[in-house]
């Protein structure tokens, strides 16, 4: 197991390098430089000034040198400083925004698991029942619904019309005056809609996946054998089948991470949540190279770590994986 984990960990290094090369190349092939943008027609900014700005940000060096310098700093978690007027380190900016985004995504994932697994199991056990058909319709709609539209509808109905939930930000105006528990309750109320909206696509996918996994197991030979030997249906469904059908869920969770992280841009923009997604959106609009690059790389690293975690838990849960790891 330890050997397998180490092997996987080292396997990440070329992937990481590839990721940095792709993001770096992409940013620098694109037109529009921060030292030029907004200054082209400004009579007070001479060509010399622009050159000085370029030199200041290291943009005058050859591309491979810029990449190498950036990579060296990356190794010590130095993502450079933001081009924006506050000029703060990218890493600090991201780290202060990251917790909200992580919380929303982790809560969304938990919500997906807690709701989708029972739905999938119940649909499979009662295949072609009304419940199963109803859930199939829900799944198709869940796949097709644009998350930001669902968010808008919920904002209109629950927020504006019924005035039940807050529709923007993560704190109420009176946050400062609240007691500790009041603050937690307020935070929770602000997170309900964003978490639900982030989860909707995964909810549909996961319940569908769980259903087909259960059906596979229920139809397998060893379940038929167990049934022939007189094992009760209860026992078959909830002891034998569920355990085996749960395994692939781990992998699917790992695969859903890029979608969740990418989706946080839209969800955070919609609900004005000060997380990494909104930061990225603002960085993209202001062409803040270091910030865009830093967040892209951090997002990709988070994805890689998520996948690694998923693979390791899979190997831990299913001994067949690492015993046959040589192949």
Partner 1 sequence: MKKSILNQPLLFIGGSIVVFIALSALLAPLIAPYDPAMINVRDILLPPSWEHWCGTDTLGRDVLSRMLYGARVSLAVGFVAVGISLLVGIVLGSIAGHYGGSVDASLMRVTDMVLCFPTFFLILAVIAFLEPSIWNIMIVIGLTSWMGVTRLVRAEFLSLRKREFIMAAESLGISSFQLIWRYMLPNAMGPVIVSAVLGVAGAVLVESGLSFLGLGVQPPDPSWGNMLTEGKDNIQIAWWLSVYPGLAILITVLGYNLLGEGLRDRYDPKSSGR
Q: Does 215 bind partner 1 (CB under 8 A)?
A: yes
Start-to-end CA distance of the chain, whole Å, equals 15
Q: 176-205: which residues touch partner 1 (CB under 8 A)? A: none
Q: Does 269 bind partner 1 (CB under 8 A)?
A: yes
CA distance 24 to 29: 9
CA distance 11 to 305: 12
CA distance 324 to 221: 23
Q: How many CA atoms lie within 13 A of 94 on its CB side?
A: 22
**Residue from 207, 307, 315, 322 binding partner 1 (CB under 8 A):** 307
Question: What is the per-residue binding string for partner 1 in 80-119, x denoting contact by CB under 8 A?
Answer: ----------------------------------------
What DSSP designation does 262 have?
H
Q: Does 13 bind partner 1 (CB under 8 A)?
A: no
Task: Find tokens 């989708």 and name the residue.
Answer: 116
Total residues binding partner 1 (CB under 8 A): 53
Q: Does 14 bind partner 1 (CB under 8 A)?
A: yes
Closer by beta carbon to partner 1, 167 or else 223: 167
Q: Annotate 186-215 with DSSP letters as a single string.
A: HHHHHHHHHHHHHHHHHHHHHHHHHHHHHH
Q: Does 259 bind partner 1 (CB under 8 A)?
A: yes
**Residue from 13, 47, 75, 160 binding partner 1 (CB under 8 A):** 160
Question: Torsion angle, CA of 55/60/63/68, rounded to 10 degrees?
Answer: -30
**Residue from 42, 127, 184, 232 binding partner 1 (CB under 8 A):** 127
Q: Does 27 bind partner 1 (CB under 8 A)?
A: yes
Neighbour tally for 64: CB within 10 Å: 9
Q: Which stretches of the chain bind partner 1, using CB under 8 A?
A: 14-15, 18-19, 22-23, 26-27, 30-32, 127-128, 140-141, 143-146, 148-149, 152-153, 155-156, 160, 167, 208, 211-212, 215, 258-259, 261-263, 265-266, 269-270, 280-281, 284-285, 287, 292, 295-296, 299-300, 303-304, 307
């Amino acid at each position: 197991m330890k050997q397998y984990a180490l092997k996987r960990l080292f396997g990440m290094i070329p992937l990481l390098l590839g990721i940095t090369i792709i993001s770096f190349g992409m940013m620098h092939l694109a037109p529009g430089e921060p030292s030029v943008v907004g200054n082209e027609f400004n009579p007070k900014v001479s060509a010399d000034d622009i050159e000085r700005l370029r030199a200041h940000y290291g943009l005058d060096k050859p591309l491979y040198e810029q990449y190498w310098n950036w990579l060296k700093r990356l190794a010590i978690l130095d993502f450079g400083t933001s081009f924006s007027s506050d000029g703060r380190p990218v890493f600090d900016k991201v780290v202060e925004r990251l917790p909200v985004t992580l919380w929303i995504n982790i809560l969304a994932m938990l919500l997906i698991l807690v709701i989708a697994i029972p739905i999938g199991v119940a649909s499979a056990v009662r295949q072609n029942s009304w419940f199963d058909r109803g859930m199939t319709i829900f799944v198709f709609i869940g796949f097709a619904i644009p998350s930001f539209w669902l968010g808008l509808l919920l904002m209109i109905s629950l927020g504006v019309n019924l005035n039940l939930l807050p529709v923007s930000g993560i704190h109420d105006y009176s946050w400062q005056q609240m007691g500790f528990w009041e603050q937690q309750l307020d935070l929770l109320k602000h997170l309900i809609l964003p978490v639900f909206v982030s989860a909707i696509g995964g909810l549909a996918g996961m319940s569908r996946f769980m259903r087909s996994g259960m059906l596979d197991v229920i139809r397998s030979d060893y379940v038929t054998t167990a049934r022939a030997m007189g094992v009760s249906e209860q026992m078959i469904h909830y002891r034998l089948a569920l355990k085996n059908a749960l395994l692939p869920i781990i992998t699917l969770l790992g695969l859903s991470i890029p979608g969740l992280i990418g989706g946080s841009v839209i969800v955070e923009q919609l609900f004005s949540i000060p997380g990494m997604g909104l930061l990225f959106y603002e960085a993209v609009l202001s062409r803040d190279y270091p910030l865009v690059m830093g967040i892209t790389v951090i997002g990709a690293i988070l994805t890689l770590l998520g996948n690694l975690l998923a693979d390791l838990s899979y190997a831990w849960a299913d001994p067949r994986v690492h015993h046959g790891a040589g192949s």
